[in-house]
Chains A and B, each alone.
Chain A
Amino acid sequence: MNRTARVKRSRRLDPLSLAGLGCLLLLVLVALGSLVHAGGDPDAIVGPRLRPPGPGWWLGTDNLGRSMLPRVMEGVGTTLLLSSAAVLVTAALSAGFGILAGYRGGYLNELIMRVVELLYSFPAIVLAILVAAVAGPGQLAAVASIVLVTIPLMTRLVRAAAVAVAERDYVTAAAISGAGLPRILGRHVLPNVAGTIAVQGTYALSVGISVEGGLSFLGFGVQPPQASLGVLIRQGGTYMMAAPWLIIGPGVVLVLAILSINVLGDGLRDRFEPRETRSLI
């Protein structure tokens, strides 16, 4: 028999991705901490306005004299929560549509892919503003925008993966056995495209964070006094010259969140989708 050289899948993530995972978990921990006011009450006025970082307000104070530390903590939580909720919705919808389009092909595939391409052709922020205009600014608009921005790419990739899986012999054998569509899609196709969904889900999370940031920055997303990273950056922007710490705190956290998620995504991709080099049979 010809040797089928299989690239060994390493069970563990590389150090960089682990660092990303660690950083992300830290941010989640920080966000959870804000629930018990670990850094202080985000809405309490604790001192003079626009103070640079110092004892009592380790990230400085804002234009109302609120400590930035608890506000950034709350902001991370809001941003992560909205983005993950949106990504879960995206993952569910993309999995459904992508697998159906990839396995069934034909008119259904054409229909789903044309809609996806239509969404794909809108610039993300234009799409987000459109949603906010229809749904009204707020958390719902933020979630809906993230879903609409992330769904096209994910659906396309899930579909591509499903097309490849649909041609494999175990799927054909199941169809010949008389297995119905739910069984074939649920037992055979979905588990074998799950890696793609997980990897794309992480990337979608980082896109989601930046869409939330952008939308709230423009004032269409999360509404103050609730803090999100986008809201904080918008408020900080007004006083950028006088009090740069207002924008540095949430800005650094936003960059950290997106970077760590992307690095983690790269690691997951290498783990779940190794380039398999197989000799021709």
Chain B
Amino acid sequence: MILDLTDVTVSFTTGPPLRRTRLDAMRGVSLSVAEGETLGLVGESGSGKTTTSRVALGLQRPTSGTVRFDGRPFPRRRKDLAGRMQAVLQHPHWSLNPRMRIGQSVGEPLAVLGKAAGELVPEALEQVGLEAGFAGRYPHELSGGQRQRVSIARALITRPSFIVFDEAVSALDVSVQVQILNLLKDLQAEYGFAALFISHDLGAVRYVADRIAVMRGGEVVETADAATFYSAPEHPYSRQLLESL
């Protein structure tokens, strides 16, 4: 297993002093992602998807439970993980630093590792279907779909074993979504990275996921193979979700 979440609970305290209320964003969540596999995580807003992605990325420490990446707990120093885990995030508008050229953005994970980017940046751009010439442009010259392609190129450049896609296609229109999802499948077939694909859109998840986990109110209500899930969902909530599709 590349990623293992066992009985993870994350709670936040909110409200004024003396009347603090505890809010569990995740309650006893157990999930795992195998090498090369895509786990689709679906659920409505507020179901704990984003917190789960933050825990999976090591950005949020669980209140209780254990998280293991590649068989080991997260190292104290983030740098020890550099290049092995990447993410493609939600907003095409904010996914790239507006003050950096595309080439710099794509090459940054390599720079973090202290490696020279060299030929790898144009190569990475071509892998996601963009011309090498894009390296010299600024993000504001690109469309939303092109920016998400750049984000994918940036995530792939260190050949990570695990990538989190957090609502990575939700802000794009449908035809562009399909292109990006196809691209993802092709790239995964080629490089074999494992992925956690988080979305509120069951249609998009169906397209890429090998297994599906459904979250509701901070809990995982069902985990199943994609084929089983879409043909015979077990949990009433899953059925309800599928009906609305």
Are the chains A and B members of one assembly? yes
Query: What residue in chain B is nearest A188 (Cβ atoms)?
Result: B97
What residue of chain A has the Cβ atom nearest to residue B83's Cβ? Answer: A178
Shortest Cβ distance from residue A176 to the other chain B in the assembled complex, whole angstroms:
5
Contact with B along A168-198 (1 / 0, CB 8 A): 1110111111111001000110011000000
Contacts of A170 in B (CB 8 A): 94-97, 105
Contact residues in A for B59 (Cβ distance below 8 Å): 172, 175-176
Q: Does B242 contact A (CB under 8 A)?
A: no
- Interface range for B: 35 or more
Q: Complex formed: what's the CA distance from A66 to B110 in Å?
A: 66
Contact assessment for A278 and B93 in the assembled complex, using a CB-CB cutoff below 8 Å: yes
How long is the Cα–Cα vector from A170 to B82 in the complex, in angstroms?
A: 16
Known contacts A170-B105, A192-B99; A1 and B145 CB within 8 A of each other:
yes
Give the residue of A1, A6, A192, A281 whose beta carbon is less than 8 angstroms from that of B97: A192
The residues of B that contact A173 with a CB separation of less than 8 Å are 86-89, 95, 151, 154-155
Q: Are A177 and B82 in contact (CB under 8 A)?
A: yes
The reply to whether the CB of A10 lies closer than 8 angstroms to some CB of chain B is: no
Interface: B81 (CB within 8 A):
yes
Chain A residues contacting B92 (CB-CB under 8 Å) are 1
Residues of B close to A174: CB separation below 8 A? 108, 112
Residue count of chain A within 8 Å CB distance of chain B: 23
| Assembled-state Cα–Cα distance A6/B112 (Å) | 32
The answer to whether residues A187 and B97 also contact, given A174-B108, A179-B108 and a CB cut-off of 8 A, is yes
A226 within 8 A of B: no
A1 contacts B172, CB within 8 Å? yes
The answer, yes or no, to whether B140 is at the interface (CB within 8 Å) is yes
Bound: A266/B143 CA distance, A = 31
Question: How near does chain A come to B230, taking the closest CB pair, in angstroms?
Answer: 26
Whether the pair A1, B173 counts as a contact (CB closer than 8 A) is yes
Assembled-state Cα–Cα distance A180/B109 (Å): 11
Judge if B227 is at the interface, Cβ distance under 8 Å: no
Q: Does B144 contact A (CB under 8 A)?
A: yes
User: Residue A2 at the B interface, CB < 8 A?
Assistant: yes
Q: How many angstroms between the C-alpha atoms of A1 and B57 in the bound complex?
A: 27
Any chain A CB within 8 A of the CB of B91?
yes
Q: Select the residue from A6, A173, A187, A278 with max chain B CB neighbours within 10 A.
A: A173
Which of A175, A180, A192 has a CB less than 8 Å from the CB of B98?
A192
> What A residues does B83 contact at CB under 8 A?
177-178
Q: Roughly how many angstroms separate A243 CA and B144 CA in the complex, as a whole number?
A: 67
Within B52-104, the residues touching A (CB, 8 Å) are 57, 59, 78-83, 85-100
B interface residues (Cβ-Cβ under 8 A, vs A): 57, 59, 78-83, 85-100, 105, 108-109, 111-113, 140, 143-145, 151, 154-155, 158, 164, 170-173, 176
- Residues of A near any B CB (own CB < 8 A): 1-2, 4, 6, 168-170, 172-180, 183, 187-188, 191-192, 278, 281
The 4 residue pairs across chains A and B that have the minimum distance between CB atoms? A178-B82, A1-B173, A169-B89, A191-B99
